[in-house]
Amino acid sequence: MPSACDEMVAFVTSGPTLYEIIRFHHSDETLQRVVYLIEAEAVGTITDREVRELKRFYRYEYFVDELKKRARRRLSHTNEI
């Protein structure tokens, strides 16, 4: 099973445009995986490997959110010219 982060890594390394960065959304498969990890953590059945995957997902998600903010900022500056 792919990790919850694989999709983000594939997206970022594909060389997306600013518009593609802003429109990026996780697939249903990734969202289901993250929900599973969060639920497993809540009930105490999460493995050490899954804990690392969930923490990595949160870090990558923060990174993608920052990319989106900067992409929006760059596009707003471009449209002002």
List, for residues 34-54, the tens digit of each pLDDT value.
999 999 999 999 999 999 999
The pLDDT, as a whole number, for residue 80 is: 56
pLDDT(81) > 60:
no
Q: How many domains does the chain have?
A: 1
CA 44 to chain centre: 24
Residue 81 forms part of a structural domain? no
pLDDT(9) > 70:
yes
Residue 69 forms part of a structural domain? yes
Distance, CA of 53 to CA of 47 (rounded, Å): 10
Q: Which domain holds residue 37?
A: 6-76
Asked whether the whole model's pTM tops 0.75, one would answer yes
Distance, CA of 61 to CA of 50 (rounded, Å): 16
The pLDDT, as a whole number, for residue 33 is: 95
The confidence band for 3, taking pLDDT boundaries of 50, 70 and 90, is confident
Q: How many CB atoms lie within 10 A of CB 4?
A: 25
